[in-house]
Amino acid sequence: MPTLAIPRPSEAELKRTNQSFYDGLWSGARLVDPARFNTWPMVRDLAMALPRRLEIAPGLRPRLPLDGTYFIDISQAALQALRGHGASAMRASISALPCPDASFDLVCALDILEHVRDDEGALQELTRVAAPQARLMLSVPLHESAWTAFDEFVGHYRRYEPAHIVEWLAAHGWTVEQSAVYGMQPTSTTLLNLGQWYLSHQRERAMWWYNRVIMPLGLRLQKPLRWQPGLPDNPGVDEVLLLCRRT
Query: What are the pLDDT tens digits along the chain (247 aa)?
Result: 444 556 677 877 777 776 776 776 677 778 999 999 999 999 999 999 999 999 999 999 999 999 999 999 999 999 999 999 999 999 999 999 999 999 999 999 999 999 999 999 999 999 999 999 999 999 999 999 888 877 887 788 999 999 999 999 999 999 999 999 986 555 556 656 666 555 666 667 766 666 677 777 788 888 899 999 999 877 788 899 999 999 8
Cβ contact 94:72 at 8 Å: yes
Question: What letters, b where the CB count within 10 A reaches 16 and e where it falls short, cover 14-37?
Answer: bbebbeebbebbbeebebbebeeb
Distance CA 111, CA 97 (A): 17
Which run of H or E residues covers position 82? Answer: helix 76-84
Distance CA 60, CA 27 (A): 10
Beta strands per DSSP E along the chain:
53-56, 69-73, 88-91, 104-110, 130-141, 174-181, 228-229, 239-246
Which has the closest alpha carbon to 26: 84, 88, 109? 84
Query: Domains of the chain: which residue ranges?
Result: 11-185+222-246
The CATH number of 11-185+222-246, from 3.40.50.150, 3.60.20.10, 1.10.3370.10, 3.30.450.40, is: 3.40.50.150
C-alpha distances in angstroms, 23 versus 44, 137, 187, 216? 28, 24, 26, 19
Cβ contact 162:240 at 8 Å: yes
Cβ contact 58:117 at 8 Å: no
Cβ contact 71:90 at 8 Å: yes
Burial, 135: exposed, middle or buried (Cβ in 10 Å; 0-12, 13-18, 19+)? buried
